Amino acid sequence: MEFIYEGVIEAFWLLFNMDEETISAISVTLKTSTIAILLSILIGFPLGFLLGFFDFPFRRTLRLISDTLLATPTVVIGLLVYAMISYQGPFGEYGLLFTTEGIIIGQTILALPIVISLSAAAIEGMDRKLFYTLSSFGLTKVQMIKNVIWELRHSLLAAGVTAYGRIIAEVGVAMMIGGNIKYDTRTITTAISLETSKGMFSMGIALGLVLIGIAFLVNLSLNFLRKNARQF
């Protein structure tokens, strides 16, 4: 137990002294995860709206595919993206392998099914009276879509927050695509994995504390959004 106690003490020392390597891993994690979630929301919300609002051929099949992809292991996503952007892959010429841009692509693909499925579910679960009320105002389709999005803003944001919680804690994509390069593509999770394998528990514990703190804030935001969504 002594090494755990010493590791916790040293972990706080690293955090309070802004250790360069620790701060770099935190910075890379926040940068890649934030950009990835913004991209997945930008792509996922319209697709989720399409699946939840409109009725068209193969809609149920597409929804089933999206729901199935929710459970895809991160290492599988990492493997697929690796195959696409490796030097022998179709996008190898763009030099995305072992870069933060490559990690962002992988995390965006990982978050997309979550954003699409949860936003589609929110729209499907909306009170149908709202459709009839909006229709009675003589709104155009674009105006009606804007109003529906505004009414469901808390549920849609909750979908984004859930996806953010998933990608910030993943390790498969960051390890396979990023390569765990120090001061460049090393994230919190890959750093924890590496430092623990080397027996350097202090940095692993320090980064673990940061990750728990971020997870707590994400869940706090999620509870707040769900509480507000139930009130409207």
- Tens of pLDDT, residue by residue over 185-198, are 999 889 888 888 88
Identify the pLDDT of residue 140: 73
Per-residue pLDDT reduced to its tens digit, 63-75: 889 888 888 888 8
Banded pLDDT at 108 (limits 50, 70, 90): very high
**pTM attached to this predicted model:** 0.86
Identify the pLDDT of residue 9: 74
Identify the pLDDT of residue 155: 83
Identify the pLDDT of residue 131: 66
Distance CA 92, CA 137 (A): 52
Kindly write down the DSSP assignment for every residue of the chain, as one continuous string: -HHHHHHHHHHHHHHHTT-HHHHHHHHHHHHHHHHHHHHHHHHHHHHHHHHHH---TTHHHHHHHHHHHTT--HHHHHHHHHHHHSTTSTTGGG--TTSHHHHHHHHHHHHHHHHHHHHHHHHHTS-HHHHHHHHHTT--HHHHHHHHHHHTHHHHHHHHHHHHHHHHT--HHIIIII---TTTT--HHHHHHHHHHTT-HHHHHHHHHHHHHHHHHHHHHHHHHHHHHHH-
Per-residue pLDDT reduced to its tens digit, 22-79: 889 989 999 999 999 999 999 999 899 889 888 888 888 998 898 888 888 888 999 9
Q: Decide if 222 contacts 158 (C-beta within 8 A).
A: yes
Q: Is 232's pLDDT higher than 60?
A: no
